Structure 1
């Protein structure tokens, strides 16, 4: 029996995206770009997100550019988006909401 999560169906993916404002995506991955107040806050976001990723044993693809963080979530072992990606998207949203964003 495999412990890998199953990829979401198109309907499940559409429903998940509808519940996560700011996220876009397809079966290839969920994407969000967050612009923070400044560079140090963007770095702090990544630092505060990291323990949650370790707990979930699920790690986003991240790109940091000045105060902007671009995230892509995909379960590489299944080749698509799974419930684990949706769970991590919610964590990303919670961590980002606690920090100052660009105005």
Structure 2
């Protein structure tokens, strides 16, 4: 029984060479066929990347929705102390414009 490498290779190949490097046949080596194959490969890769981007976005939305449902506060934490935030809210609620409270900080 012949080896798989010998069956796939039209020319005589050594048994230890799984995929010998032979020149392509002249009919498949035309520039036009090569350009079509290149476009096909490029489009296939682009479609795969677009599909993966959609999956990543979907998983991100689902993860954020789950965190919101758990009551987790999302976003960057505030760097202002809570006393300062309370004072700003109190002063703004009293009708003061934003400038005087910010100058007092």
Short-chain TM bin = under 0.3
Normalized per residue, the structure richer in helix is 2
Give TM-score scaled by structure 2 length.
0.20
The structure having more radius of gyration, on CA atoms, is 2
